[in-house]
Amino acid sequence: MTIINKEKKKEIIESLSKDISSQKGVFFVNFRGMKGEQSRELREKLGEKNAKIVVTRKTLAKIAFEREGVDFDPLSLDQEVGFVFDFEDGIGAAKVLSEFEKRETISFLGGFCEGNVLSAKEAQLIAELPAREELLGKLIGTMNAPISGFLQILQGNTKGLLQVLKQVKV
């Protein structure tokens, strides 16, 4: 166990507090058994989603969560805990974590999103949600469907009229 002086502890708590205050979602993961190469890959993929993983002592994380008014005690988690902060939409990081969980390199322990503490199962369910862009695409497609259908009906009537006029002309 590494000994950290008071100054370093204050820096860690300040950094965690800053991350907690600016996050859209935090996920707690057990990373025990993860190899160095897998860890680098996880950090890279999280970086692409505007997220990051922080590994620190649970007692320091508890202080930071309390400072930011989050009612969660990291000491309640038995395993080694990585705190994954998502600064974009709260879903991108969960999807990356879900991918690594399928490979059995990490496991969800829970999370915190929009003021709610999440169980491990709830954190996994967030990972299954479609991305914001996908939802917007589906919404626009649904809104566009009646208009497209109406245009096809109008075009069908026009084509039918043209066919009849061609027949009469001949």
103: closest CA among 26, 45, 23? 45
| 100/106 Cα distance (integer angstroms) | 6
pLDDT average, residue stretch 36-59:
89
**Phi, psi for 125 (deg, rounded to 5):** -65, -35
pLDDT average, residue stretch 111-116:
82
For 156, the enclosing helix (H) or strand (E) is: helix 132-169
If one compares 50 and 153, the residue with the highest pLDDT of the two is 50
Domain range list for the chain? 6-129, 130-170
**Phi, psi for 53 (deg, rounded to 5):** -110, 135
The pLDDT, as a whole number, for residue 44 is 92
The pLDDT, as a whole number, for residue 1 is 57
Place 170 in a pLDDT band, splitting at 50, 70 and 90: low
Q: Tens digit of pLDDT for each residue in 78-91? A: 878 889 999 988 78
| 94/2 Cα distance (integer angstroms) | 30
Is 34 strand, coil or helix?
A: coil
Q: Tens digit of pLDDT for each residue in 61-79? A: 889 988 888 878 888 888 7
| 62/54 Cα distance (integer angstroms) | 14
- Check: CB of residue 86 under 8 Å from CB of residue 47: no
**% residues pLDDT > 70 (the chain):** 95
Q: CB burial class (10 A; 0-12, 13-18, 19+) of residue 54? A: middle
The pLDDT, as a whole number, for residue 77 is 82
The CATH superfamily assigned to 6-129 is Ribosomal protein L10, N-terminal RNA-binding domain (3.30.70.1730)
